[in-house]
Amino acid sequence: MKVYSLLSKVVGCAILVLASTLALAQEEVRIFNTVKLKLANGEPVVGGTVSSAEPDTYCAMANSGFDFMWIEMQHSALTYSQAAEMIWACRDAPAIPFIRIPAATEGDIQKATDIGALGIIVPMVDAIEEIETAITYAKYPPIGKRSLGGGQHFGIWGRDYREAANDNIMIVAMIEQPEGVDIIEQVANTDGVDVVFVASSDLSSFTGLRQGDPDYEALVTRVRDTTSAAGKYVGGPMSWLESREGQGYSFFQGPGASALIRVGTSVTLETADPCRFLPSGATPVAGEDACP
């Protein structure tokens, strides 16, 4: 009886030690994906879109206030070498690199993560296998089957990258077709999915419905409500940041470099106009012509 009692105490202590060790290990995982932290704090995040291979442009955008960079590799001629160069050039920028991969393949996913992306955006999700593949190859064992390999991810995110990667890499599932809406319950409730993104333009293109149409809005509402109920974040275009504010959206795709250059040029020229804030007939500087 004494032996049994002693054995029970030893086993009990061992279990407590193991539980404490596991809890401590979990607490020590470093979260360096600031997008994940902001979303968890209830803050909206916005990403600037880049689709051309100019490190200077990427760095200007990555340091301008965006929360993440949406590196567009589905609808661009960007290569992984070019994307890697941009990410490395601004490895200390506050904007976190996310890549919209061309398709959910093992090669695309592992290349994207190896060059330092902390977000994998999966386009055209219309089969649950696509998002499952993305999770499998974006995550290391025991969760997934991502191989260790090489790459610049260690140089960007630190020597503890292998231990922390699974907790930092985010998976974004894009719903662009009615077939994607049909499986939204499966997608949103899949472990490993962080964000479900409503691709408004493509959803309109595939359905022939415009925003505001009751049938279109029913599709969007189903995606949003199902995703929110699953405890995941809902994404959409930046134009929805204000128009659908308070409706459950928190992850937004912002404009591309060309649009930002146009806006920046316009603002610069307007600012340079000395009559911009003066009434007609006023003189900006004594001796100069009056404002029209």
**Whole-number pLDDT of residue 23:** 42
Residue 286: inside a domain = no
CA-CA distance, 175 to 222, in Å (whole number)?
Answer: 11
**Whole-number pLDDT of residue 174:** 98
- Show the tokens assigned to 224: 């949003």
**Whole-number pLDDT of residue 274:** 74
**Whole-number pLDDT of residue 15:** 47
**Whole-number pLDDT of residue 288:** 78
* Secondary structure (3-state) at 91: coil
Query: Would you give the DSSP letter of residue 290?
Result: P
Residue 277: inside a domain = no
Residue 117: inside a domain = yes
Count how many residues are written for the chain: 292
Q: Token pair 């977000």 is at which residue?
A: 119
CATH value at residue 170: 3.20.20.60
- As for how many domains the chain has, the answer is 1
Residue 160: inside a domain = yes
Residue 205: inside a domain = yes
Find the domain containing 182 and state its range. Answer: 31-262
- Show the tokens assigned to 29: 């995982």
Encode the chain (292 residues) as per-residue pLDDT tens digits. 454 454 455 445 444 434 444 343 455 899 999 999 999 999 999 999 999 999 999 999 999 999 999 999 999 999 999 999 999 999 999 999 999 999 999 999 999 999 999 999 999 999 999 999 999 999 999 999 999 988 999 999 999 999 999 999 999 999 999 999 999 999 999 999 999 999 999 999 999 999 999 999 999 999 999 999 999 999 999 999 888 877 999 999 998 777 777 777 767 666 667 776 678 878 877 767 888 7
Burial of 27 (0-12, 13-18, 19+ CB in 10 A): exposed
**Whole-number pLDDT of residue 27:** 57
CB crowding 4-26: b at 16 or more within 10 Å, else e: eeeeeeeeeeeeeeeeeeeeeee
Q: Token pair 């009559």 is at which residue?
A: 275
Residue 9: inside a domain = no
**Whole-number pLDDT of residue 22:** 39
**Whole-number pLDDT of residue 270:** 67
Residue 269: inside a domain = no
CA-CA distance, 70 to 100, in Å (whole number)?
Answer: 7
Partners of 121 in beta bridges: 100, 172
Which residues, other chains included, contact 291 with Cβ-Cβ below 8 Å and sequence gap of 6+?
274, 275, 278, 279, 280, 281, 282, 283, 284
Q: Measure CA 9 to chain center.
A: 48
Q: Token pair 């025991």 is at which residue?
A: 142
Contact 33, 194 (CB under 8 A): no
Residue 45: inside a domain = yes
Q: What are phi and psi of 240, to 5 degrees?
A: -85, -5
